[in-house]
């Protein structure tokens, strides 16, 4: 397993095991299969596991507890998240602490290596183009982030309850960029990294996603980059594993990626393997988060990591086939 430097946090395996698939977000899996998949990933050399309370309502975090019984293998690091939204300022700290405490109890741990803000970052008073009615549940306003959230996370680091903190960089791009450029900055950011540059259904705004600019900015500020959505929620695989409406963002991306699947067929390669290798080739991405739900899907990702990043010619062919300039 190749390793890369994760910002200032030292080396990390080029693949990170994500918890969404193990929590049932991307289709059904059993608890036993999820546990076996997590153990296999660690045995294969993956040394970062990224989960969240929202992945299966705690199911992914429960897999960590069941797989390791509070004794994380040497060298393996764990990150989890807090979905905060924009609560009243006076309860913000309590909500962050309660979320962290629940996560630690579920995983049978007394600390995590990174705690990420899972909420979208938006300017004060900004309303998203989609989901505005429920926005306060999943989007955090800039002033709350600066005045309440960031100080709490910094305090948790000083107390040793978390090793570092980060953000999920899928909010309004100009606000995400501002967060990356403002000290103290997050130690890590989870950034969309796929050949379509698409956040799919995560995009609640009308602005362009600016996915690669976000990665470049994080890199320029020595912020570790976890690449997420390498297969864009299944749009870059052989077939979607769930029924979607024709106008669903993931379905639209699946149709848009038809030439990519044709190229994969020409190369006699699985689209998922090729898509993961593309993400591994993206400049500035330190580790690609894989959203597998079973050992078969894990094996595909391990094969992609073993084959390594694509050469410049193949990257150009893929870019050309999906219309990237």
Q: Is 198 strand, coil or helix? A: coil
pLDDT at 156: 98
The number of angstroms, rounded, from the C-alpha of 131 to the middle of its chain's C-alpha atoms is: 21
Q: What are phi and psi of 115, to 5 degrees?
A: -115, 125
Is the bond preceding residue 184 a cis peptide, omega within 30 degrees? Answer: yes
Note the pTM of the prediction, 2 decimals. 0.96
Closest to 101 in 3D by CA, of 177, 56, 162: 162
Give the separation between CA 291 and CA 6, rounded to whole angstroms.
19
pLDDT at 323: 93
Closest to 41 in 3D by CA, of 59, 68, 71, 4: 68
Give the separation between CA 56 and CA 204, rounded to whole angstroms.
22
pLDDT at 242: 82
Residue range of the domain that includes 190: 3-321
Tokens, residue 207: 């602005």
Q: For the chain, how many structural domains are there in total?
A: 1
Closest to 150 in 3D by CA, of 121, 110, 192, 107: 121
Q: Taking the chain (325 residues) in consecutive chunks of 10 residues, what is each chunk's mean pLDDT?
A: 97 97 88 97 98 94 98 98 96 98 98 98 95 94 98 98 97 97 98 97 94 98 98 94 90 97 97 98 98 96 97 97 87
pLDDT at 296: 96
> Where does residue 197 fall: left (phi above 0), alpha (psi -120 to 50 degrees), or beta otherwise?
left
Cβ neighbourhood burial of 207 (10 Å; 0-12, 13-18, 19+): exposed
Other C-beta atoms lying within 10 Å of the C-beta of residue 55: 25
DSSP 8-state secondary structure symbol assigned to residue 136: H
> Could you tell me the CATH number of the domain that includes residue 67?
3.20.20.100
Residue 7, CB-side half-sphere exposure with 13 Å CA sphere: 25
Q: Write out the E strands in the chain.
A: 3-5, 11-13, 15-18, 48-50, 77-82, 112-117, 120-122, 139-141, 162-168, 188-192, 224-228, 287-290
Give the separation between CA 121 and CA 150, rounded to whole angstroms.
12
Give the separation between CA 194 and CA 259, rounded to whole angstroms.
15
The number of angstroms, rounded, from the C-alpha of 139 to the middle of its chain's C-alpha atoms is: 17
């Amino acid at each position: 397993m190749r390793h890369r430097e994760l910002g200032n946090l030292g080396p990390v395996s080029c693949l990170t095991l994500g918890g969404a698939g193990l929590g049932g977000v991307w289709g059904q899996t059993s608890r036993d299969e999820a546990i076996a998949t997590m153990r296999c990933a660690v045995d294969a050399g993956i040394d970062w596991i990224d989960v969240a309370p929202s992945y299966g309502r705690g199911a992914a975090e429960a897999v960590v507890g069941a797989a390791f019984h509070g004794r994380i293998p040497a060298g393996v690091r764990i990150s989890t998240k807090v979905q905060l939204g924009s609560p009243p300022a006076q309860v913000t700290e309590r909500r962050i602490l309660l979320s962290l405490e629940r996560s630690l109890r579920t995983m049978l741990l007394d600390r995590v290596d990174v705690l990420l803000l899972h909420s979208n970052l938006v300017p004060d008073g900004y309303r998203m183009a989609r989901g505005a009615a429920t926005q306060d549940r999943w989007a955090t306003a800039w002033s709350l982030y600066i005045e309440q959230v960031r100080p709490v996370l910094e305090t948790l680091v000083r107390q040793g309850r978390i090793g570092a903190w980060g953000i999920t960089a899928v909010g309004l791009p100009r606000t995400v960029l501002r967060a990356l450029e403002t000290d103290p900055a997050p130690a890590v950011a989870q950034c969309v990294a796929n050949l379509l540059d698409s956040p799919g259904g995560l995009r609640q705004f009308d602005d362009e996603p600016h996915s690669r600019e976000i990665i470049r900015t994080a890199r320029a500020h020595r912020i570790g980059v976890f690449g997420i959505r390498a297969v864009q929620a299944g749009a870059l695989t052989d077939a979607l594993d769930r029924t979607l409406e024709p106008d669903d963002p993931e379905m639209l991306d699946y149709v848009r990626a038809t030439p990519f699947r044709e190229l994969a067929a020409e190369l006699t390669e699985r689209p998922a393997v090729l898509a993961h290798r593309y993400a591994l080739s993206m400049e500035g991405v330190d580790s690609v988060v894989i959203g597998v739900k079973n050992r078969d899907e894990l094996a595909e990702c391990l094969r992609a990591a073993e084959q390594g990043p694509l050469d410049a010619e193949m990257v150009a062919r893929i870019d050309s086939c999906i219309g990237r300039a």
